[in-house]
């Protein structure tokens, strides 16, 4: 029975909601769908519902599973819930799909042949392993790159297909498909042998374990009596299946989403998961929210007008009582440098007038666009952060240190072992390592065990035997410390010294090496912070490694006051900023040239909707008449999305450039398309068909192989000459099949 203090809290909590929001928050048992536009309080409803369930005793903290899109969002959600409840709620699972699956697998992976200590391979590790598999199969990795092959594997896994299903479903027997399927099979066997999972495996294996073992499924579905999911429009097949397995028994699944914000189709997200929710759960209670609390009416009207151009859209009418606010500023600049100068100049002006830098965000469609804006910000001495571009955990020294920890936690992890065995250099070269691996394979033992007795490895020189012996002695000693459960911070610090890593950096005497040392010090700090909050009875090292493996790029955003924020629109999902700039509003940039066919274009338009609806008070959209793209100058038409914003919502600054109005510029664009080499206007003509793996010749680039076929008649060709990969319009590019 809630006491008076908590009943007061619950009354307060409900007071901060409008009637439909309150209806969703207080909904009892059974499926719940909240389908609503941007900024209507969907995330707020989820947060309040969690606090409500717990605060009223409808669910205990450990009976709640809340899924968010990023670690950052999870952290924010937990903090908000704690604020609403007035106390900590440690036991609650608020996390991303990947983190929740990883945590489940720590307990149950043994049923699939893994141990608790399995390693999580990030994209780069996975790619390296794919390369090794391709090498082993004798496949030419210049023609069939590990990146392209891994992409196919990942895509298949997210559709819950294994190597054989991939081979069957693709229906093609080109060299590419065959190589992918072979590599896929070998890759899976290797992962299992090394007791490792890639990111996709976390989801796939979590589904497998629930699907195969009734008792596991029963345990989780009775443990998590309430499952809540934010950004549901971006779930893919494997995520959908996982939720279904968890919730089919009690059906307490609450999802929130906005079909207009589905922007991960290219990664296999399936908007039907949202649109067909009522079919999957016929008894679901549906709540629609229409009042937007984020933006001015001008910004909302612009967003509504743009999204109305999509055919497949559930109609939603958003309104706000924030008033009209300022008109949207649209500027057409000469080139990307002028664009950056304009954006940065405006930022300076706004800051002079009292805005905080932290209130300002600059969005762009592709990562590469950030550089010029960054340069300009640096020159004007404005501090900023780039979300999603940060590389702390990708730096070589950080990855080395983590690889050491990974081997100490899981000695079967060959990839990490290979990474560190000669880093810093200790005279154990590629050849020696190859001999050890070969010996391990022959004897059917692990590389770790083979290395532990170097004298018995045939063909290993005395120097190598000695170095390897010393290395293994040290590793065994460190492993003992792991078993004694010394804090990770201490373990890391001593391993960095005992392995000679720090000494080697010091010996370099370069600024760069100094920076690396500082980065490692920062990592020790990360470990100490972790130690301070780690729970007693956990496998701390594994949990620590898992946490690090899951820190996605987009999550490195820090909350420092006074930083202008730069990011791609994809990373901006769910966030809000008082002042927003959207740069690069040009055809070919945004909408992206890769996405100019129908389905692709609608996803680009949803991305425009996401971008616009992040803005609270002020919105700028800029374009450049010419722009350097990969060293060549491109002359882009202004983006169609600019013309879809009603004229009267804008400030009409550059009259000469924009006076032509909607109809004129549409006609002009049609004309431009007809003569342009990237036309989509004639997409009903049959395009010459290419298949994965086709050998082709290009008039300028020479011989190549088709490594991708995309919607809209686009083929991706990898050229043998310079190893470059280019996207070409099959219909227009001077390529022929050989």
Which residues are marked as active site?
A: 42-43, 230-231, 261, 614
Q: Which is nearer to Mg ion, 42 or 49 (CB)?
A: 42
Q: Tell me, what DSSP letter sits at residue 392?
A: G
Site string for Mg ion, 251-290 (x = CB under 5 A): ----------------------------------------
Q: Which is nearer to ligand ATP, 40 or 416 (CB)?
A: 40
CB 692 within 8 A of CB 663: no
Which of ligand ATP, Mg ion, none binds 258 (CB below 5-8 Å, type-dependent)? Answer: ligand ATP
User: Closest residue to ligand ATP, Cβ-based?
Assistant: 41
Q: How far is the CB of 313 from ligand ATP (least distance, A)?
A: 15
Q: How far is the CB of 497 from ligand ATP (least distance, A)?
A: 46
Q: Which of residues 551-590 bind ligand ATP (CB under 6 A)?
A: 574, 576
d(CA 633, CA 588): 13
Token pair of 628 as six digits:
């350097």
Which of Mg ion, ligand ATP, none binds 119 (CB below 5-8 Å, type-dependent)? Answer: none
d(CA 343, CA 130): 42
Mention every residue, 6+ apart, whose C-beta is less than 8 A from residue 602: 310, 311, 312
Q: Which is nearer to ligand ATP, 264 or 719 (CB)?
A: 264
Q: Which is nearer to Mg ion, 42 or 399 (CB)?
A: 42
Q: How far is the CB of 514 from ligand ATP (least distance, A)?
A: 42
Which of ligand ATP, Mg ion, none binds 571 (CB below 5-8 Å, type-dependent)? Answer: none
Q: Which of residues 459-518 bind ligand ATP (CB under 6 A)?
A: none
CB 211 within 8 A of CB 242: no
d(CA 716, CA 704): 10
Q: How far is the CB of 230 from Mg ion (least distance, A)?
A: 6
Site string for Mg ion, 40-79 (x = CB under 5 A): --xx------------------------------------
Query: What DSSP element (H or E) covers 212?
Result: helix 199-212
CB 519 within 8 A of CB 392: yes
Which of ligand ATP, Mg ion, none binds 155 (CB below 5-8 Å, type-dependent)? Answer: none
d(CA 201, CA 105): 10
Q: Which is nearer to ligand ATP, 574 or 713 (CB)?
A: 574
Q: How far is the CB of 574 from Mg ion (least distance, A)?
A: 4
Count the residues of the shown chain that bind Mg ion, applying the rule CB under 5 A: 3
Verify binding: residue 75, ligand ATP, rule CB under 6 A. Answer: no
Which of ligand ATP, Mg ion, none binds 17 (CB below 5-8 Å, type-dependent)? Answer: ligand ATP
Q: Which of residues 235-294 bind ligand ATP (CB under 6 A)?
A: 258, 261, 293-294
Q: Which of residues 614-643 bind Mg ion (CB under 5 A)?
A: none
- List own/partner pairs for 16-25 with CB under 8 A and 24 or more apart: 16/48, 17/41, 17/44, 17/45, 17/48, 18/289, 18/291, 20/287, 20/288, 20/289, 20/290, 21/45, 21/48, 21/287, 21/289, 23/287, 24/49, 24/254, 24/287, 24/289, 25/49, 25/52
Which of Mg ion, ligand ATP, none binds 659 (CB below 5-8 Å, type-dependent)? Answer: none
Q: How far is the CB of 18 from ligand ATP (least distance, A)?
A: 5
Query: What DSSP element (H or E) covers 491?
Result: helix 488-498
d(CA 96, CA 162): 24
Q: How far is the CB of 42 from Mg ion (least distance, A)?
A: 5
Of positions 20, 37, 325, 574, contacts Mg ion by CB under 5 A: 574
User: Closest residue to Mg ion, Cβ-based?
Assistant: 43
Give how far the C-alpha of residue 22 lies from the chain's centroid of Cα atoms, to the nearest Å.
32
Query: What DSSP element (H or E) covers 497?
Result: helix 488-498
Which of ligand ATP, Mg ion, none binds 179 (CB below 5-8 Å, type-dependent)? Answer: none
Residue 573: CB atoms within 10 A of its CB come to 21
**Where does this chain touch Mg ion (CB under 5 A) — which range of 14-22, 36-44, 322-330, 476-484?**
36-44
d(CA 55, CA 11): 11
**Where does this chain touch ligand ATP (CB under 6 A) — which range of 32-40, 299-307, 331-339, 371-379?**
32-40
The answer to whether the bond into 132 is cis (omega within 30° of 0) is: no
Token pair of 431 as six digits:
């050849």
CB 425 within 8 A of CB 547: no
Half-sphere exposure of 89 (CA within 13 A, CB side): 29
Q: How far is the CB of 571 from ligand ATP (least distance, A)?
A: 13
d(CA 4, CA 166): 59
Q: Which is nearer to ligand ATP, 13 or 129 (CB)?
A: 13
- The single residue listed with the structure tokens 């937990």 is 78
Q: How far is the CB of 355 from ligand ATP (least distance, A)?
A: 18
Q: Which is nearer to ligand ATP, 227 or 340 (CB)?
A: 227
Q: Which of residues 38-57 bind ligand ATP (CB under 6 A)?
A: 38-44
Which of Mg ion, ligand ATP, none binds 72 (CB below 5-8 Å, type-dependent)? Answer: none
* Phi, psi angles (nearest 5°) of residue 691: -125, 155
Count the residues of the shown chain that bind ligand ATP, applying the rule CB under 6 A: 17
Task: Give the C-alpha distances (Å, rounded to integers) separating 737 from 27, 578, 705, 715, 731.
Answer: 60, 52, 9, 12, 13
Q: Which is nearer to Mg ion, 6 or 43 (CB)?
A: 43
Q: Which of residues 1-30 bind ligand ATP (CB under 6 A)?
A: 16-18, 21
Q: What is the DSSP string of 60-115?
A: -GGGEEEEESSHHHHHHHHHHHHHHHTS--TTSEEEEHHHHHHHHHHHHGGGGT--
Q: Which is nearer to ligand ATP, 48 or 516 (CB)?
A: 48
Q: Which is nearer to ligand ATP, 34 or 99 (CB)?
A: 34
Residue 587: which of 311, 264, 365 has the closest Cα? 365
Chain residues that interact with Mg ion, rule: CB under 5 A: 42-43, 574
Chain residues that interact with ligand ATP, rule: CB under 6 A: 16-18, 21, 38-44, 258, 261, 293-294, 574, 576
């Amino acid at each position: 029975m809630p006491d008076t203090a908590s009943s007061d809290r619950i009354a307060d909590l409900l007071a901060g909601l409008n009637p439909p929001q309150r209806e969703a928050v207080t909904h009892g048992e059974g499926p719940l769908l909240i389908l609503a536009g941007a900024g209507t309080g969907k995330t707020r409803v989820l947060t309040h519902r969690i606090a409500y369930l717990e605060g009223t005793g409808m669910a205990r903290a450990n009976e709640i599973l809340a899924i968010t899109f990023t670690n950052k969002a999870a952290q924010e959600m937990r903090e908000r819930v704690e604020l609403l409840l007035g106390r900590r709620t440690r036991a609650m699972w608020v996390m991303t799909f990947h983190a929740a699956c990883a945590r489940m697998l720590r307990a149950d992976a043994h049923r699939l042949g893994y141990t608790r200590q399995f390693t999580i391979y990030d994209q780069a590790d996975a790619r390296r392993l794919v390369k090794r598999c391709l090498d082993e199969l004798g496949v030419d990795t210049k023609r069939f790159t590990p990146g392209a092959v891994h992409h196919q594997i990942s895509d298949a896994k997210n559709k819950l297909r294994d190597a054989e299903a991939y081979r069957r479903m693709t229906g093609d027997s080109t060299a590419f498909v065959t190589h992918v399927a072979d590599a896929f099979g070998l890759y899976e066997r290797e992962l299992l042998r090394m007791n490792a999972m890639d990111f996709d495996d976390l989801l796939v294996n979590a589904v497998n374990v629930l699907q195969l073992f009734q008792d596991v499924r029963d345990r989780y579905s009775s443990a998590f009596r309430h499952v809540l999911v934010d950004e549901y429009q971006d779930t893919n097949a494997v995520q959908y299946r996982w939720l279904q397995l968890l919730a089919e028994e009690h059906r307490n699944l609450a999802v929130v989403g906005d079909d207009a914000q589905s922007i991960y189709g290219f990664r296999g997200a399936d908007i039907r998961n949202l649109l067909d929710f009522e079919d999957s759960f016929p008894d679901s209670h549906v709540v629609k929210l229409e009042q937007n609390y984020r933006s001015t009416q001008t910004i909302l009207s612009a967003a509504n007008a743009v999204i109305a151009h999509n055919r497949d859209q559930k109609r939603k009418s958003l309104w706000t009582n924030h008033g009209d606010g300022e008109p949207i500023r649209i500027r057409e600049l000469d080139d990307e440098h002028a664009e950056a100068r304009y954006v940065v100049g405006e930022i300076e002006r706004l800051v002079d007038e009292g805005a905080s830098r932290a209130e300002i965000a600059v969005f762009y469609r592709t990562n590469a666009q950030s550089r010029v804006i960054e340069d300009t910000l640096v020159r004007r001495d404005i501090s900023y952060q780039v979300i999603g571009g940060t590389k702390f955990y990708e730096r070589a020294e950080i990855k080395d240190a983590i690889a050491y920890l990974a081997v100490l936690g899981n000695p079967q992890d060959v990839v990490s072992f290979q990474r560190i065995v000669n880093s810093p250099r200790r005279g154990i070269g590629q050849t020696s390592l190859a001999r050890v691996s070969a010996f391990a394979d022959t004897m059917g033992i692990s590389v770790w065990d083979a290395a532990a007795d170097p004298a018995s490895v045939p063909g290993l020189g005395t120097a190598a035997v000695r170095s390897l012996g010393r290395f293994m002695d040290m590793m065994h000693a460190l492993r003992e410390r792991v078993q004694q459960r010394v804090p990770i911070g201490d373990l890391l610090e001593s391993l960095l010294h005992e392995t000679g890593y720090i000494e080697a950096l010091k010996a370099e005497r370069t600024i760069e090496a100094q920076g690396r040392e500082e980065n490692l010090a920062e990592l020790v700090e990360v470990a100490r912070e972790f130690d301070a909050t780690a729970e007693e009875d956990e496998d701390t090292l594994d949990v620590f490694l898992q946490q690090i493996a899951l820190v996605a790029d987009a999550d490195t955003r820090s909350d420092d006051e006074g930083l202008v924020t730069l990011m791609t629109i994809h990373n901006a999902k769910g966030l809000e900023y008082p002042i927003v700039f959207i740069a690069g509003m040009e055809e070919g940039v945004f909408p992206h040239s890769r996405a100019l066919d129908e389905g692709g274009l609608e996803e680009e338009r949803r991305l425009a909707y996401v971008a616009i609806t992040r803005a609270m008070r002020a919105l700028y959209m800029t374009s450049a008449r010419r722009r350097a793209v990969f060293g060549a100058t491109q002359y882009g038409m202004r983006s169609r999305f600019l013309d879809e914003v009603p004229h009267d919502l804008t400030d009409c600054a550059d009259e000469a450039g924009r006076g032509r109005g909607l109809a004129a510029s549409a006609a002009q664009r049609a004309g431009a398309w007809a003569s342009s080499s990237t036309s989509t206007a004639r997409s009903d003509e049959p395009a010459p068909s290419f298949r994965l793996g086709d050998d082709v010749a290009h008039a300028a680039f020479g011989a190549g192989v088709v490594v991708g076929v995309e919607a809209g008649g686009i083929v991706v060709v990898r050229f043998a000459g310079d190893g470059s990969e280019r996207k070409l319009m099959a219909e227009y590019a001077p390529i022929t099949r050989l």
